[in-house]
Amino acid sequence: MLRVEQLSHSFHNASESVKVLHDINLFIEKGEMVALLGSSGSGKSTLLNLMAGFMKPSSGRIFIGDKDIVLLNENRLAEYRRKHIGFIFQSYELIPSLTVVENVELPLVFHTLSPSKRKKKALSLLEQVGLSDKTDLFPSQLSGGQQQRVSIARSLISEPYVIFADEPTGNLDTRTEEEILSILQRLNAELDTTFVIVTHEAEVAEQMGRIITLKDGVLI
Ligand SMILES: Nc1ncnc2c1ncn2[C@@H]1O[C@H](COP(=O)(O)OP(=O)(O)OP(=O)(O)O)[C@@H](O)[C@H]1O
């Protein structure tokens, strides 16, 4: 369901062009939970950002389902991302002025679903991540692990084909990391949502169904 073919990417600055991904090919099945493992600078975030449609590759193809997202123009790509792709960031990226439930509802603002149905859905997801008692608080009133659980609920609300997570436990202590990983594993099993999780920690990667390793921009 997620297929990358001959993907390469270079960054250009004033004087030079630096190639950071070299001819990447990979296939991820629906419902898989995959770790993208590699040391700092190996190109993990670049690959994730390309697959999530945050930027365009220098060359290659990225199919999500049967759609090559590289061919979409900026507007179409933004719409596609909003409807079909979920994202979990290391630093949560919640909106501080919105409550927990409003943050979770946010990806559905352009959706045709009525406000009451949106809220119902958000509350149900917050229950699934164990935050039913925090729905009307603001992000600053939550711990890091709780904020990450809000962002997990938010990533699921549009029922995306795939959720990309960039070092989702990078800011958390070991015990909270375990909690977050077990929530992701449970959601993966229960909802059959596909997860691609970037990490530089082998212990985190070992808890996923499959490990894809990047070294110096090459899959090994
Ligand atoms: N916008 C950019 N402009 C120029 N070079 C970049 C840019 N973004 C990333 N790079 C370079 O591309 C390479 C891969 O970076 P990337 O962030 O994908 O690695 P990473 O494996 O995710 O690293 P980390 O674990 O430290 O986040 C690095 O050498 C980095 O310096």
Residue 27 beta carbon below 6 angstroms from any ligand 1 atom? no
Given the CA of residue 200, which atom of ligand 1 is nearest to it? 25
ipTM: 0.95
pLDDT score at 65: 87
Ligand 1 atom with least separation from CA of 47: 18
CA-to-CA dists, residue 201 to 35, 185, 188, 198, 211, angstroms: 10, 17, 20, 9, 11
**% of the chain residues with pLDDT over 90:** 93
Which atom, in ligand 1's list, is nearest to the CA of 49? 18
- CA of residue 56 to ligand 1 center, whole Å: 15
| pTM of the complete model beyond 0.95 | no
User: Which domains, from first to last, does the chain contain?
Assistant: 29-58+71-219 (3.40.50.300)
Q: Convert the pLDDT of each residue in 51-102 to its tens digit.
A: 999 999 999 999 998 899 999 999 999 989 988 999 999 999 999 999 999 9
Q: Ligand 1 pocket test: which of 45, 169, 201 has the largest number of ligand atoms within 8 Å of its C-beta?
A: 45
